[in-house]
Structure 1
Amino acid sequence: MNRVLPAVFALALSAPAFGQTVDGEGAKQLSENLSRYVGNQAIDKGVLKVSVEGDAYKIVVDFKALAAMLPKQNFLKFDFAPYALMAKPRSDGSWDVSADLSTSASFEVEGSQGPQSTQFSIAGGKFTGVYDPELAAFASATNSMTGMTMTSRDPTQRVEMSTGAGAAAFNATRAANGGVDFTLAQTMADFVEAIDFDDPNSGLKFPLTVKSPELSVNATGKGMRTKPFLDLLAFAVANENEARLKSNQAELKSLLLAALPLWERIDGTYGFKDFTVESPVGHFGAAELGTSFGTTGIAQNGTINYTIKATGLTIPQQLVPAWGTALLPTDVDLSFGGANINLDSTAKKAIETFDLNKNPALPDDFADTITADFMAGTPKVVIGHSTVKNSNMEIALEGEMTFPGMKPEANVTVDVAGYDKIVESLQAAAKSDPEAAQYFPVALAVKGFGKTLPDGRLEWAINAKADGSVMVNGAMLKPADPAANDSDDEDDSGGETDQTP
């Protein structure tokens, strides 16, 4: 809900204020602005209403009226109080915006396996911000709450989620190359999610509880194309009729091109502190657990990156054999993604090619064409420097994979500190544990391929070629796969043939 309501402001307050007089005529103008993005029907049926209240406009969002407009959802129950948003014009053309986000709601629908219901409540919810029509975004905004609860039920699962106090801050400025740069920081305390899976058909019961005293979300964006997005939304509303859409597809193509590259860069992180998972097989935990994500927009040389980090990991020891306890990781830092991702030419070619007057709108061979163009840019999978470690060992990994001729080719380097500890652990366990006895000779063989570095680490440089060959530290581990015509030649020459004249 905290993300839906700012979007409503963005639609309603798209025109500069410039200290306009708050009156009935202004309310009518705001309604007309809204209708451009949500359609006249939403205004006529009371989904969004604008009125004057003191020196501000009151914008009411009626979710029951919205639900009534949606295609049949088999609602058995729907109880959601309207939201009231206050917007006050400023002399610089922007708007002061505020809202009380405290609410409670519930709804129930008839699902394929039975009733599905959801109830949620937000306590102490407050929102304030300054919306800038020139940015088509909030120049600044904050929201807060004292707590939130949510319960969801269906015939096989019950989920209960709650948080304590939370707060968020958002800021946006004009980007140097067009669009908007923004930052978002959000925190929530006392996050708890309890999942109770109970399937009477299978007899499977599995309760799970996730907890963290602090959850944080941070995001940054550069060059977000906010105004072109609004223009596309307005076009969609004005061209809901299929015939009109087809006749105006030249304008649609122009608007789509104007929205590229969508954004220059977006990065985000999601983190927990003192993260725990309580399950029937034991307790999992991490002092800190987080993920991050970053991607360019529709670019000629795009990139995408993911990371997963965990420190102070704890894993139920009964899940591993006794000899494996010493090998369990306590810290993980994984990094992977892609590079040389050319989506720019793909998107532009698709926009240029599609024709809504044809069925299909794109030629049958279009997928093959853009696939060839995409692969011509030599995209690659990248493994950034990643580590898995505990107090006795550290495993590090990095490399990349490309696809010449649509076949994978990889160059990966693995190095390990404390490999002897792994071997010693397996050797000791092999005396009494058949599983360890199986792994011990493998560990010795792998060590034989390793190269000892000056700091004592063992390193394996692995080169896998598109022809199927694999080399480790320059030694051939697997030769190239036989060529198709090689096997044919062997069949021709290897068997006996009739030489009778």
Structure 2
Amino acid sequence: MNATQAANGGVDFTATQTIADFAETLDFDDPKSGLKFPLTIKSPELSVNATGKGMRTKPFLDLLAFAVANEDEAKLKANQAQLKSLLLAALPLWERIDGSYGLKDVSVESPVGHFGAAELGTSFGSDGIAQNGAINYTIKAAGLTIPPNLVPAWGTALLPTDINLNFGGANIDLDSMAKKAIETFDLNNNPPLPADFGDQIKADFMTKTPKFIIGHSTVKNRDMEIAMEGEMTFSGMKPEANVTIDIAGYDRIVESLQAAAKSEPE
């Protein structure tokens, strides 16, 4: 792990970890149904990576020190003005955090057979508490395999071997919400926030037109590829989607189903 002073205050860091010969055994046991489903997951390499920009480490430590010094409820209530000041100083918590983990040559042994993947991984990224923040997720898999005879022969041709999904959110205003909550709460009241506070910040949040975004994503195998991308907004609390879906190899899908209908009419 490496860390340096950030240009705008706080700390920038990078962290990398690699685990060789990863192995894990999971036992799913449902007493009601009597179903037992053990899984053994193995991979010669598990990698974990993380990066952060502008982590507000000093304000975090100040908050921790305040918590230790104000364990008594009466003292905490008396010093809540200081608490609010410390909370505001900690914003936006960080500028950006990104992390990922990945497995290579994954093997999953189960009662129904062997599953595998040449690569399997996911990543996550998030801005700090900002007025126009973004969140991103990615799920990737390559070289997927399933046990033989688990699905009919014609169905195998329809199963994906590679998956790349990208989605997240944009126009996310958590800054206004956080500052309003800090300004409004009063530890002398029970509850500390007014009953209608949730409705207020929800309405404020939606006025910034947050978006759910589908980045360019694909699901494919040797014969076909499905690609999609688009976004969804929530004007007036009603979702409105604009998504483009492209299918390559559609004719091969139809041919596979037609051939199956002839050989396996049931």
Shorter-chain TM-score category? over 0.9
Return the match for 2:60 from 229, 238, 253.
Answer: 229
Percent identity of paired positions between Structure 1 and Structure 2 = 82
- State the distance in 2 between where 1:282 and 1:381 align: 37
* Map of 2:34 onto structure 1: 203
- State the distance in 2 between where 1:279 and 1:207 align: 6
Equivalent residues in 2 for 1:97-496, closer than 5 Å: 170-434=1-265
- State the distance in 2 between where 1:198 and 1:348 align: 46
Task: Give ranges in structure 2 of 5+ residues lacking alignment.
Answer: none
Bigger Rg, which one: 1
The CA deviation at 1:419 is: 0.9
Question: Residue 289 of structure 1 aligns to which amino acid in structure 2?
Answer: L
Question: Residue 266 of structure 1 aligns to which amino acid in structure 2?
Answer: I
TM-score between the two structures when normalised by the length of structure 1? 0.52
TM-score between the two structures when normalised by the length of structure 2? 0.97
The CA deviation at 1:320 is: 2.3
The CA deviation at 1:200 is: 4.6
* Map of 1:46 onto structure 2: none
Please list every run of at least 4 consecutive aligned residues from structure 1 whose deviation after the TM superposition is greater than 4 angstroms. Answer: none
The CA deviation at 1:432 is: 4.1
> What root-mean-square deviation, in Å, do the aligned CA atoms of Structure 1 and Structure 2 show?
1.2
* Greater shift in the superposed pair: 312-321 or 211-220: 312-321
- State the distance in 1 between where 2:245 and 2:72 align: 58
Question: Residue 223 of structure 2 aligns to which amino acid in structure 1?
Answer: N
The CA deviation at 1:189 is: 0.4
Question: Residue 341 of structure 1 aligns to which amino acid in structure 2?
Answer: I
The CA deviation at 1:205 is: 1.5
CA displacement, residues 210-247 of structure 1 (integer Å, 9 cap, x when unaligned): 00110000010000000100000000010000000000
- State the distance in 2 between where 1:265 and 1:231 align: 21
Task: Give ranges in structure 1 of 5+ residues lacking alignment.
Answer: 1-169, 436-501
- State the distance in 1 between where 2:83 and 2:185 align: 11
Q: Residue 319 of structure 1: SS of its match in structure 2?
A: coil
The CA deviation at 1:196 is: 2.6
The CA deviation at 1:379 is: 0.5
CA displacement, residues 92-142 of structure 1 (integer Å, 9 cap, x when unaligned): xxxxxxxxxxxxxxxxxxxxxxxxxxxxxxxxxxxxxxxxxxxxxxxxxxx
CA displacement, residues 337-376 of structure 1 (integer Å, 9 cap, x when unaligned): 1111000000000000000001110011100000001000
